[in-house]
A = this chain, B = another copy of it.
């Protein structure tokens, strides 16, 4: 029923070995023979059997890209860039580089992350790219570390994109990390420079590297401005009992969603009606924050400044245009793709930090003098 290598070989009057070599192009085959084989392939409409090929060759052309949320452009942009870099060379015809770049959506679930890794391991994937922040749970880190080590061991290239290096495994995988801390710090410094002193912060989910780093940058900026909280211990998010809330009460955690931004901002405004700026964990959250601010009858940026992070495409379209921190997502994804292909040499030490650039736009302005 289905056409096999042997069928092609028969039609081209050569041995299966020769057909295989023509198809893989890594062994000298006389031009005339090659022609004959290629014609037979076309005539018979032959399609290579991937599993058989992978089994015999002990490698596959699968490259997995893991993302936390496929509906979020933050990941989509990186994944798309990587995929372009990997499956891209249209011109080459059926040349060698044909790889199947696929993206797997973990939904932020550590179990699914591990599951996908196992599935990719099963397929003997050529490479795996992990994008976005990582969970900081020790158990999960350990599991990931051993799993990735095993993958690397089996010859799968491992690349981290927008994720800090895993301690200890620096040698076996390349890591492209965003300077979330620096970006966060510069963003808050910008607000400080404008004159803001009471700044609310809508943080991302707990135990995520991205969340922590951005928040640390924010706090570092405050600290440097002498606004640091003396009792900087874990501000346990207990509602303020009124009065002057400390810095730790100006931070609220929640998922990276618009809704979270909305609700957290409402909460922040309740705790500190006199705050003049809200910094959000990312642009999506910032959109929610904007909505909340408006729903309270406040204007942006006259009454309250709002800032985001990532500079996703829609951020410039918000009204007012969102002040945010630009992350070169496309470039990072493309580079990760090349690293996965082995087309680009890894950064020294296997680790590169990608800088985050402040984009000051219309959603931030000096606070009103009166208040």
Q: Which residues of A contact B (CB under 8 A)?
A: 2, 45, 47-55, 60-62, 64, 69-73, 76-77, 79-80, 83-84, 87, 90, 98, 100-105, 107, 109, 111-112, 115-116, 118-124, 150, 154, 258, 284, 287-288, 290-291, 294, 313-314, 317-319
Q: Quick check: A287 and B314 within 8 Å, CB to CB?
A: yes
With both chains docked as a complex, state the minimum distance between the C-beta of A50 and any C-beta of chain B, in angstroms. Answer: 4
Q: Quick check: B84 and A79 within 8 Å, CB to CB?
A: no
Question: Out of B49, B73, B105, which one reaches A71, CB within 8 Å?
Answer: B73
Which B residue sits closest to A146, measured CB to CB? B45
Docked pose: A120 CA to B64 CA in angstroms? 14
6 CB < 8 A contacts A-B? A48-B122, A50-B119, A52-B55, A72-B76, A103-B104, A284-B314
Docked pose: A313 CA to B290 CA in angstroms? 15
Whether A90 contacts B107 in the complex (CB less than 8 A), given A122-B48, A291-B317, comes out as no
Docked pose: A84 CA to B116 CA in angstroms? 12
Copies of this chain, how many?
2
Q: Quick check: A317 and B258 within 8 Å, CB to CB?
A: yes
Question: Out of B69, B107, B122, B291, which one reaches A49, CB within 8 Å?
Answer: B122
Question: Out of B83, B84, B105, which one reaches A80, CB within 8 Å?
Answer: B105
Task: Other than A51-B60, A73-B73, give 13 A-B pairs with Cβ distance below 8 A.
Answer: A49-B55, A70-B70, A70-B76, A70-B79, A80-B107, A83-B104, A90-B115, A100-B119, A284-B314, A288-B317, A291-B317, A317-B318, A318-B319
Query: In the complex, which of the residues A79, A121, A314 has the most CB atoms of chain B within 10 Å of its own CB atom?
Result: A314
Which B residue sits closest to A288, measured CB to CB? B317
Query: Shortest 10 CB-CB distances between A and B: which pairs?
Result: A102-B102, A51-B54, A71-B76, A50-B122, A51-B55, A50-B123, A51-B51, A100-B119, A70-B80, A287-B317
Whether A111 contacts B123 in the complex (CB less than 8 A), given A51-B54, A104-B101, A317-B291, comes out as no
Residues of the B chain whose Cβ atoms lie less than 8 Å from the Cβ of A100 = 104, 116, 119-120, 123
Query: In the complex, which of the residues A2, A71, A318 has the most CB atoms of chain B within 10 Å of its own CB atom?
Result: A71
Docked pose: A314 CA to B61 CA in angstroms? 37
Residues of the B chain whose Cβ atoms lie less than 8 Å from the Cβ of A314 = 258, 284, 287, 314
Q: Quick check: A51 and B317 within 8 Å, CB to CB?
A: no
Residues of the B chain whose Cβ atoms lie less than 8 Å from the Cβ of A103 = 70, 102-105
Q: Quick check: A83 and B105 within 8 Å, CB to CB?
A: yes
Docked pose: A163 CA to B54 CA in angstroms? 33
With both chains docked as a complex, state the minimum distance between the C-beta of A315 and any C-beta of chain B, in angstroms. Answer: 10
Docked pose: A70 CA to B313 CA in angstroms? 14
Q: Quick check: B124 and A112 within 8 Å, CB to CB?
A: no
Question: Out of B87, B116, B122, B154, which one reaches A115, CB within 8 Å?
Answer: B87
Which B residue sits closest to A81, measured CB to CB? B71
Q: Quick check: B79 and A49 within 8 Å, CB to CB?
A: no
Q: Quick check: B76 and A98 within 8 Å, CB to CB?
A: no
With both chains docked as a complex, state the minimum distance between the C-beta of A227 and any C-beta of chain B, in angstroms. Answer: 30
Residues of the B chain whose Cβ atoms lie less than 8 Å from the Cβ of A48 = 122
